[in-house]
Amino acid sequence: MMYLKEGCSLLLKVHKPSIPFVLSTSPILGFNQENDQINKNTRTLTESDVLKRLRGEGDTFLALEYFKNVANSKSFKHTPLTYQMMIERLGQQHEMDGVQYLLQQMKLEGLDCPEDIFISVINSYTRAGAAEQALKTFYRIQDFGCKVTVRIYNHLLDALLSENRFHMINPVYNNMKKDGLEPNVYTYNILLKALCKNNRVDGAHKLLVEMSNKGCSPDVVSYTTIVSSLCKIGRVEEARKLALGFTPSVPVYNALISGFCNECHFREAFELMDEMVDKGLSPNVVTYTTVLNAMSDFGNFELSLAILGKMFVRGCSPNVQTFTCLIKGLSLKGKLYEALDVWNRLIRDGILPNVITYNTLLYSLCLLGNMSEALSVFSQMERYGCLPNLTTFSTLINGYAKSGDLLGASEIWNKMIMSGCSANVVVYTSMVDVLCRNFMFDRAYNMIEKMAMENCPPNTITFNTFIKHLCTSGRLDQAMQLLDEMEQYGCARNTTTYNELLGGLVKFNNFRVAYELVMDMEKKGVEFNVVTYNNMINGFCCAGMLEVALIFVGKMLVKGIKPDTFTFNIVINAYCKCGKVESAIKLLDTMSAVGRHPDSVTFSSLICGICESTGLDAASVYLHRMIDEGIFPNISIWNFLVRWLFSKIGYDTSMAYFNGVIDASLEEESFNFELKYESK
């Protein structure tokens, strides 16, 4: 049974009616009474009265109706200020047709459009994400009787910058100079940001020099833009040297501290904080939160708490971002209860969490599989009026998917659709995952088809997730068929794709197809990693082809890929099974020499192999070594030894041997406990 509602349904969206903009000369139904009232108050209706009404009306549609009624009456003639107020109201609602109509209406009435109104128009286009339309309107500026100014150019340049339309910025700037207008500090700051965002930091640095040469002194924004951009691209030391020539300021120091933290140079970051204090600058909440966030990411929660304490001592109150960093740091360390304590303190202190804080805690809870607590936090989010976003829904659906809870994932899906959020490829992939975990492979395939229809095509991760589950459940033919279909959706096969298939083929002894896939990887130039080699080495070992497996070990080393513990375990087990115990023992020594730590699987293979080929005395050496290294034998080792001893030496001797081993283990544990106790 499926619980999903149709994604991205248009039926769930409420279409906002268009606002009628025409200013008619005839009375409007429903507003006759107000027209009469306006006419009666002809002498008392002033510009301030109209502005107050337009500003105070919460509904833009009603404000526009009032604006039209005033225009159609003889009680008041609209002024540039009332037009500006109405233009700003419409611009806030992205009603740009209405904005354009009012501009034309001003022109018809013979009213010149002052600088502030034209800036309001440009800002409205900026909010609507229509910078190109702002530029087109700017080219008609003289039609509206507006004189071009530096401020208008600055707002236009800022609009283009907000949409990263770098190719348009330079022509507009050149046009500004042709108009005989001198750029001011705001102009230069916009150009500096544009250059930095376009990865032209060196050009920005040159512009900074040019700016000073032309007598326009850079301000804090200018310096901070350059310094932060250098830090973002890893040129932190250069940024620090550059900052020495500036007047010290908190934003510049914050940019440098952030740069050093990103490079994990924490000592330098702390030195800068001390330097700030020495120069009479107080680190602010941004400074502390930056360092605290870096400490949390690094996993040093104790130092994060020390920084928080320092904040309080210096009278700097933490904000919601500070608490978010703490919650993130605690969660990454697995300290869930402590993270919830910080959360509760946040609420008690009257600091309302924002959507980022909620998403941070939800991510941590889902990562730890605590879905009941995650759902409780999500419910609190709704109660407090914090609107969930796509990240919120994606995090919860992924959490339910990882726990295999289809019902939980479907309920969040439905909430997401009802809220008007459209699923993205991450959410769809999580749904494919949970459907596969519930063996609903046909439904998962339908979900992939639905993604394509919803203009949200699956990506390589989606297919890798599907292929993994098909291989795990032994549906290798379907997995291979899905591999062929990836290209139809424009998805490239990557190393993970092949590894999932190789793992499944080796598991079910289909070595021929596995070898063909390896050849296909080489042909397509797909990179091999340690998992790829381990799959092939394991496959050949399982097939009794140890010599071929060792050839792949050699290829692995030639490629510069270091074998991991799993690689060693595969070969050690293969050596033991074919009686080459001495080679297995040598490999154990090599393993330790290259920094790979043997585990219970390593010793299990050795102990079983040595018992079969040499005897119990030789095997017991490695049993004791295993215990000495703090790796305690699991049930499979004991079962093997019991069966082997009983078959070789009988009950009484076997029991005496095991009692000796157990007593030695207990003595070792007791000794370790005493050492720990004495150290305390």
pLDDT computed for residue 355 by the predictor: 92
Residue type at 57 in one-letter notation: E
Among the ranges given (285-294, 381-390, 573-582, 655-664), the one the predictor scored with the smallest mean pLDDT? 655-664
Q: Domain 16-179, CATH 1.25.40.10 — does that match?
A: yes
**Measured distance CA(172)–CA(156) in Å, rounded:** 9
| Model confidence at 108: pLDDT above 60 | yes
Q: Which residue has the higher pLDDT, 649 or 73?
A: 73
pLDDT computed for residue 325 by the predictor: 87
| Model confidence at 655: pLDDT above 90 | no
Report the pLDDT averaged over residues 15-26. 43
Region of 346 on the Ramachandran plot (φ > 0 left; ψ -120 to 50 alpha; else beta):
alpha
Q: How confident is the model at residue 26 (pLDDT cuts 50, 70, 90)?
A: very low
Q: How confident is the model at residue 660 (pLDDT cuts 50, 70, 90)?
A: low
Two tokens at 673? Answer: 């406990």
Same fold flag, 16-179 and 459-563: yes
| Model confidence at 384: pLDDT above 90 | no
Region of 9 on the Ramachandran plot (φ > 0 left; ψ -120 to 50 alpha; else beta):
beta
Is the model's pTM score more than 0.75?
no
| Model confidence at 458: pLDDT above 80 | yes
Domain residue spans of the chain:
16-179, 388-446, 459-563, 576-680
Name which of 518, 416, 507, 495 is nearest 470 in CA terms.
507
Among the ranges given (39-43, 325-329, 429-433, 489-493), the one the predictor scored with the smallest mean pLDDT? 39-43
**Measured distance CA(437)–CA(432) in Å, rounded:** 9
Secondary structure (3-state) at 351: coil
| Model confidence at 501: pLDDT above 50 | yes
**Measured distance CA(22)–CA(101) in Å, rounded:** 8
Report the mean per-residue pLDDT for the chain. Answer: 84
Q: Which CATH number does the domain 459-563 belong to among 1.10.10.60, 1.25.40.10, 3.20.20.70, 3.40.50.11540?
A: 1.25.40.10
**Measured distance CA(399)–CA(403) in Å, rounded:** 7
Q: What are the DSSP calls for 599-642, one per residue?
A: -HHHHHHHHHHHHHHT-HHHHHHHHHHHHHTT----HHHHHHHH
